[in-house]
Amino acid sequence: MDRLDEEKAEEIVEIDLAGKSDVADSLIIASGRSQRHVGALADKIARALKEVGIGQVKTEGLPACDWVLLDAGDIIVHLFRPEVRDFYNLERIWAPERFKPAE
């Protein structure tokens, strides 16, 4: 999360998946300003994860850099261009309780 902030990622959200999914314990979603920014974020986050001892980080989506997924086992990071993030709206899928309309 701190590294994403340092690298100027936008709208960084962490969703706790513990007890909700067997896939991971934490889901992090962030936006980059452009395809180039998303690609640079993905590269820097993958390197940072490896530096802290998370061995194999699987990456998907690098050629287009519209949506890049980094799978580090218990942590999954989704990096999007803003319009792609709006379209898929993962926050509402994984944490609908965080986005309920005010009554």
Domain ranges for the chain: 2-92
Q: What are phi and psi of 91, to 5 degrees?
A: -60, -40
The pLDDT tens digits for 8-34 are 999 999 988 887 777 888 899 999 999
pTM of the model: 0.85
Q: Which amino acid is at 14?
A: E
Q: Contact, 28 vs 46, CB < 8 A?
A: no
State the fold for domain 2-92.
Beta Polymerase; domain 2 (3.30.460)
Mean pLDDT of the chain: 87
Q: How far apart are the first and last CA of the chain?
A: 31
Of 23 and 88, the one with more pLDDT: 88
Q: What pLDDT shows up at residue 25?
A: 82
Q: Contact, 42 vs 62, CB < 8 A?
A: yes
Beta strand residue intervals within 1-103, DSSP E = 10-16, 26-31, 58-60, 67-71, 75-80
Asked whether residue 43 carries a pLDDT value surpassing 70, the answer given is yes
